[in-house]
Chain A
C-alpha cells in the first residue's frame, strides 16, 4: 500500500441489491477506517475544511480515528454537525471536502465522507448521544420544517439555550431525508430516526401534522403562541412537469410522488396500506440525484428502467457515485434524448413516449452546452410508466399567507446570506426555501448561519 489509493468500501453486490431495499454501501469497519484515516496528511492549512459548508474540523476528527478514539472523533464532528451519519452518506464530498484534499492531486482523495459515516455509525451503535447542556436563555423559537435546514437550525439554537419547537407538515419528521432519499441510500429507522432523536435530545420539540400557512400562520406563532423568532426551512417541495401532451395520463408520476409512496409511506413493503404503481418498463425523465433515486427505486420494484436526459453524460447533475451505482444495477441511460409527447391508450394509461434526439450546441448561461433538437429524429419508446424528475420549487403556502415576506421570481424567499434574515422582522429562512432545490449539506449550512442570525437578533 503506497497510500495513493483509498481503502475500498464494502458494498452489496449490484445484482443482489437491485432486488432489495437494504443499504447499498456497507461502510468501513474500524480496521478499514483506521487504515483510511492513516492516509490523511493532517495538512497545516487544511483545504478540506474550506470545502465543507459547515466547516467541520476534518483533520482533527480523522486524527482521532487514526488513534482509534472513535468517541473523540464523533465528539469533534458533533461540534459542527448534528447529522453526521446522514452527511457521511448523502453529501457530495467529491465536489466539496474531498475535492480539495491534497491526496487527490496525485492519487485518491481521503475518503472523508466514509470516515464521517463510520464515526457517526459507531456512536449510534454504542448509543452515544449528545447531551443537553445549555441553560435556558428564556427565548422561544419556532422552526418550520424538519428537514436538514430546520433540524440544524433547531439544534444550534437549542445548544445556545433557546426553547425550540419544530413544526412539520407531514406525519414524520425529516423532510426530504424521510420522503425523498430512498432507504437503500439512507436507512430511515436506524440512521434518520436516530439523528433526529439526537436533535431532540438537545431539548428540541417536534410537532408533526402542522401545516404552517394552514393549521397556524407565521403571525399567529409570533403573536399568539409566544415565539420570539421564526425560522422557515420549508424546502422546495413543489414538483415541476414538462407541460407536454399526455402528462396527466395514468402511469405518469412526479418523482416526488413515486419516492414519497415508497420512502415515506413504505409502499414497497406489503405490510403497509399505501399502493405504488411499480411499472414494468419505466422512463425517468431527468438526470439529477432525485432521478437516480426514482430510477433505482423502480428497478428494485421489478421494472426495466431508462433514464431519459436531454444532455450528455458529462452534464448529468447527479453525483458520480449515484450514476455509477445506477449503471452497475442495470439502469439504462438514454442520453441526448428529450420527450415531446406521452402516448396514451384508450383507458387513459401510458403506452409510450415520443422523444426527439438532441445534440449539444453552444454553452448557455449555466456554462453547460445547451441541448438542441435534431430535426426529424423523433422516435417512440414503448413504456407503461413515466416518472418526471425535473426539479422542484418552493411551496408558496407560507409566503402567500405571511404579510411582509418577499419572494423572488422563482418563488424563493428573499433572505440575507450572512444572517438568514427575511424581509419580515423576526423571521429568518434558509435551505431550499431560499435557494431552490440544492443539497442536504447546503441547507444545513444555511440553517447554521440563520441560527447565528437569530441569536444575534434575540440578543443572546
Chain B
C-alpha cells in the first residue's frame, strides 16, 4: 500500500498528490513514469513522474479526473492509500544523458500543454540543478486550467503563458506563441513538447519547418508498462515502437501522430464522446485519458 502524503487541487478536476513510494523515489529520473492502480477494481493508470523527493521517499503525480478510475482516485484524501504504485518505468529523458557543460551551452524551450505541464516540471527543475535555465511555454484553453505556473517560474528562465481564449497571457495556442517568440528574435537549439497529441503534432510540424530538433513524450493506452501487452505501440520513423519501454520520449519529427490519435480513441464510445463534449468528462467503462486534454 502506498500512502498519499499530500493532495492539492491544481485546477478544476486536476489533482496533485505526493505518494510515499521508496523504490520509485530512489531511482526515478526526469522523463520516466509510474503506473497507479487505486484498488482491486481500478485500472492501471500510467502517469509521468512530476517530482520526486529522495529523502522523504515521495513521488509527485498530477492527473486529471476524466475516466472511471481517475475520478475515483480524485476522491482519495491525504493519509489514504493507493493499492499499487509501480515504477519508475520507461527511459529517462535524453537530456539526462548529456553533460552539464553541454546542457549549459544549449538554448532549450519546453512547451507544456494542460496537464502536460506536470511532466515538464521535473525536467526544467533538473536542468536548473545542472546550471541550465530553460524557457517554458505553458498553454491551456483558459486561465483556470493553467497549472504549476509559480513552481515553473522558480526553475525556468522565462515562463510564457498562452490561453486559447486569451483569458491570460498570450492569446492563442502554444504553436502561435512559439511563432511569436521566434518573431521576437528568440532562438532555440532544442524543444521539448509535452501535452495533448494534437498540440505535439502541430508543434512538431512547425519546428520541423524551422529545423529545431523536438522531443515529445507519448502517453498512449497501456496496461503493464513493461513491454508485455503491446497496447502502447506507435510508429516512429516507419518502425513500430513500444512507448513503455522504448519511450515515452521520442523524436517528435518521426512520430506518426495521426495514428497515435486514432489509437487514443480505441476505448471511447460514441456516447462517451458526446458526453465528453457536454460535460468535459467521460462516462462508463472507457480508458482514462492520461494526458487529460480536451480537443
> Do the beta carbons of B228 and A250 come within 8 Å of each other?
no
> Do the beta carbons of B88 and A214 come within 8 Å of each other?
yes
B245 to chain A: closest residue by CB: A397
Query: Is the C-beta of A170 less than 8 angstroms from some C-beta in chain B?
Result: yes
Query: Is the C-beta of B184 less than 8 angstroms from some C-beta in chain A?
Result: no
> Do the beta carbons of A241 and B285 come within 8 Å of each other?
no
> Do the beta carbons of A239 and B229 come within 8 Å of each other?
yes
> Do the beta carbons of B41 and A272 come within 8 Å of each other?
yes
Binds B, one of A108-116, A205-213, A289-297: A205-213
Q: Please measure, in the bound complex, the distance between the C-alpha atom of A249 and the C-alpha atom of B256, giving whole angstroms.
A: 12
> Do the beta carbons of A216 and B227 come within 8 Å of each other?
no
> Do the beta carbons of A169 and B86 come within 8 Å of each other?
yes
Query: Is the C-beta of B234 less than 8 angstroms from some C-beta in chain A?
Result: yes
> Do the beta carbons of B84 and A209 come within 8 Å of each other?
yes
Query: Is the C-beta of A248 less than 8 angstroms from some C-beta in chain B?
Result: yes
B68 to chain A: closest residue by CB: A273
Q: How far is the CB of B76 from chain A (nearest CB, A)?
A: 15
> Do the beta carbons of B231 and A253 come within 8 Å of each other?
yes
Interface band, chain B? 35 or more
Chain A residues 203 to 250 lying within 8 A of chain B, measured CB to CB, are: 208-211, 214-216, 237-239, 241, 243, 247-250
A275: chain B residues within 8 A (beta carbon): 267, 285-287
> Do the beta carbons of A210 and B23 come within 8 Å of each other?
yes
> Do the beta carbons of A211 and B240 come within 8 Å of each other?
no
Given A248-B259, A275-B286, the answer on whether A257 and B230 have CB atoms closer than 8 Å is yes
A211: chain B residues within 8 A (beta carbon): 86-87, 89, 226
Query: Is the C-beta of B24 less than 8 angstroms from some C-beta in chain A?
Result: yes
Q: Please measure, in the bound complex, the distance between the C-alpha atom of A397 and the C-alpha atom of B240, giving whole angstroms.
A: 18
> Do the beta carbons of A215 and B226 come within 8 Å of each other?
no
Partner of A209, one of B86, B233, B267: B86
B266 to chain A: closest residue by CB: A250
Query: Is the C-beta of A261 less than 8 angstroms from some C-beta in chain B?
Result: yes
B259: chain A residues within 8 A (beta carbon): 248, 348
Chain B residues 213 to 259 lying within 8 A of chain A, measured CB to CB, are: 223-224, 226-231, 233-235, 240, 245, 259
> Do the beta carbons of B262 and A170 come within 8 Å of each other?
no
Given A210-B86, A250-B265, the answer on whether A256 and B229 have CB atoms closer than 8 Å is yes
Q: Please measure, in the bound complex, the distance between the C-alpha atom of A169 and the C-alpha atom of B234, giving whole angstroms.
A: 23
Q: Please measure, in the bound complex, the distance between the C-alpha atom of A264 and the C-alpha atom of B67, giving whole angstroms.
A: 19
Given A170-B224, A248-B235, the answer on whether A215 and B287 have CB atoms closer than 8 Å is no
Partner of B234, one of A248, A253, A260, A274: A248
Given A250-B265, A273-B41, the answer on whether A395 and B228 have CB atoms closer than 8 Å is yes
Interface band, chain A? 35 or more
A238 to chain B: closest residue by CB: B227
> Do the beta carbons of B267 and A277 come within 8 Å of each other?
yes
> Do the beta carbons of A273 and B43 come within 8 Å of each other?
yes
A257: chain B residues within 8 A (beta carbon): 223, 229-231
Q: How far is the CB of B188 from chain A (nearest CB, A)?
A: 31
B223 to chain A: closest residue by CB: A260
A209: chain B residues within 8 A (beta carbon): 84-86
Query: Is the C-beta of A171 less than 8 angstroms from some C-beta in chain B?
Result: yes
Query: Is the C-beta of B166 less than 8 angstroms from some C-beta in chain A?
Result: no
Partner of A215, one of B24, B84, B224: B24
Query: Is the C-beta of B69 less than 8 angstroms from some C-beta in chain A?
Result: yes
Q: Please measure, in the bound complex, the distance between the C-alpha atom of A294 and the C-alpha atom of B229, giving whole angstroms.
A: 13
Chain A 393-415 near chain B by CB (<8 Å), digits 1 or 0:
00101000000000000000000
Given A248-B233, A277-B267, the answer on whether A237 and B228 have CB atoms closer than 8 Å is yes
Partner of B88, one of A215, A265, A397: A215
Q: Please measure, in the bound complex, the distance between the C-alpha atom of A214 and the C-alpha atom of B87, giving whole angstroms.
A: 7
Q: Please measure, in the bound complex, the distance between the C-alpha atom of A251 and the C-alpha atom of B267, giving whole angstroms.
A: 10
Chain A residues 263 to 287 lying within 8 A of chain B, measured CB to CB, are: 264-266, 270-275, 277
> Do the beta carbons of A171 and B41 come within 8 Å of each other?
no
Query: Is the C-beta of B27 less than 8 angstroms from some C-beta in chain A?
Result: yes
Query: Is the C-beta of A93 less than 8 angstroms from some C-beta in chain B?
Result: no
> Do the beta carbons of A171 and B84 come within 8 Å of each other?
yes
Q: Please measure, in the bound complex, the distance between the C-alpha atom of A210 and the C-alpha atom of B41, giving whole angstroms.
A: 20
B41: chain A residues within 8 A (beta carbon): 266, 271-273
> Do the beta carbons of A273 and B226 come within 8 Å of each other?
no
Query: Is the C-beta of B56 less than 8 angstroms from some C-beta in chain A?
Result: no
Q: How far is the CB of B91 from chain A (nearest CB, A)?
A: 10
> Do the beta carbons of B227 and A395 come within 8 Å of each other?
yes
Q: How far is the CB of B202 from chain A (nearest CB, A)?
A: 19
Query: Is the C-beta of A254 less than 8 angstroms from some C-beta in chain B?
Result: yes
Query: Is the C-beta of B83 less than 8 angstroms from some C-beta in chain A?
Result: yes
* 9 A–B contacts from the bound complex (CB under 8 Å): A170-B224, A239-B229, A256-B228, A257-B229, A266-B41, A270-B285, A273-B67, A273-B69, A395-B228
Given A179-B224, A273-B43, list of 7 further CB < 8 A pairs? A169-B86, A209-B86, A210-B86, A214-B226, A248-B263, A348-B265, A395-B226
Q: Interface on B for A, CB 8 Å cutoff?
A: 23-24, 27, 37, 41-44, 67-69, 72, 83-89, 223-224, 226-231, 233-235, 240, 245, 259, 262-263, 265-267, 285-287
